[in-house]
């Protein structure tokens, strides 16, 4: 649980930045509620999974019934972050081996439930792009206030692009000094090309001398 600073240190400046991101997301669409958010990055190791987990925590701290889904079916990490078993998860639900209700696990955080990835499948993109996935999301909306997806990076694989137009909003995580501008722009174009609604970007791992650790800016 080392990466869950929003739970461990709720009064820290970094946690406050996560709350700011939460607020910006909630006000990014005044006409309708954002019920599903996917968080992704251009490449691996940009901090997207840590960002996703902490966003899920601060939404739960607001009293919302949150489901955090590990949709990174290639390199899942949510089970480690929340110290859960990963024998049964999203892949089992999508292949109709079990139900959503049976696969979801309670976390140690009030109002926050977790759907781990389950066993790594040979066809992640096909599963995420299936009609079963669309049906599953509708079921999730019936049971939770907001669903937050941790997805694979955009540029190496197509998985995130597939989910882009199924979710109400997308947050792109960018590692400060770790990704060149062209790659970030390319990832943005791919997501928009998939008819996804990009809510904004989180720029993380900035040095303390440059200000806060986490920044958020909206995109049109």
Sign of the dihedral defined by the CA atoms of residues 117, 119, 124, 129, in that order: negative
Return the half-sphere exposure (C-beta side, CA atoms, 13 A cut-off) of residue 158. 10
Using the predicted structure, report yes or no on whether residue 29 has a pLDDT greater than 90: no
Distance in angstroms (rounded) separating the CA atoms of residues 192 and 134: 19
Beta pairing, strands 169-175 & 198-204: parallel
- What does the block give as tokens for 189? 């174009």
pLDDT confidence of residue 116: 98
The candidate with the shortest Cα–Cα distance to 43, out of 159, 163, 203, 152, is 152
pLDDT confidence of residue 180: 72
Q: Are 39 and 150 in contact (CB under 8 A)?
A: yes
What digits encode the pLDDT tens for the residues 37-70? Answer: 999 998 887 789 999 999 999 999 999 999 999 9
Question: At a CB cut-off of 8 Å and minimum separation 6, what does 7 contact?
Answer: 1, 57, 109
Q: Residue with structure tokens 């009609």?
A: 131
- What does the block give as tokens for 213? 């650790």
Distance in angstroms (rounded) separating the CA atoms of residues 65 and 9: 21
What digits encode the pLDDT tens for the residues 167-203? Answer: 999 999 988 766 778 888 899 989 988 888 999 888 8
Q: pTM (2 decimals)?
A: 0.89
pLDDT confidence of residue 178: 63
Q: Are 51 and 39 in contact (CB under 8 A)?
A: yes
What digits encode the pLDDT tens for the residues 117-167? Answer: 999 999 999 999 999 999 999 999 999 999 999 999 999 888 888 999 899
The pLDDT-based confidence of 205 (bands split at 50, 70, 90) is low
The pLDDT-based confidence of 2 (bands split at 50, 70, 90) is very low
What digits encode the pLDDT tens for the residues 67-83? Answer: 999 999 999 999 999 99
Q: Are 109 and 7 in contact (CB under 8 A)?
A: yes
pLDDT confidence of residue 177: 67
CA distances from 152 to 17, 28, 90 (A): 23, 23, 14
């Amino acid at each position: 649980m080392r990466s869950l600073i929003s739970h461990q240190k709720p009064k820290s400046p970094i946690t406050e930045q996560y709350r700011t991101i939460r607020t910006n997301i909630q006000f990014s669409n005044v006409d309708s509620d954002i019920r599903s958010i996917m968080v992704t990055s251009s490449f691996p190791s940009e901090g997207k999974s840590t960002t996703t987990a902490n966003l899920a925590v601060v939404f739960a701290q607001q009293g919302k019934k949150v489901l955090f889904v590990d949709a990174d079916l290639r390199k899942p990490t949510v089970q480690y972050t929340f110290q859960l078993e990963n024998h049964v998860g999203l892949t089992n639900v999508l292949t109709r081996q079990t139900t959503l209700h049976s696969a979801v696990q309670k976390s140690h955080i009030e109002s926050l439930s977790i759907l781990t990835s389950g066993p790594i499948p040979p066809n992640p993109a096909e599963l995420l792009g299936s009609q079963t996935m669309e049906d599953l999301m509708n079921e999730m909306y019936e049971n939770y206030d907001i669903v937050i997806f941790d997805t694979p990076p955009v540029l190496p694989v197509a998985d995130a692009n597939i989910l882009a137009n199924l979710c109400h909003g997308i947050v792109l995580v960018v590692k400060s000094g770790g990704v060149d501008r062209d790659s970030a722009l390319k990832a943005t174009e791919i997501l928009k090309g998939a008819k996804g609604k990009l809510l904004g970007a989180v720029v993380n791992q900035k040095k303390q001398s440059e200000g806060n650790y986490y920044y958020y800016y909206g995109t049109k």
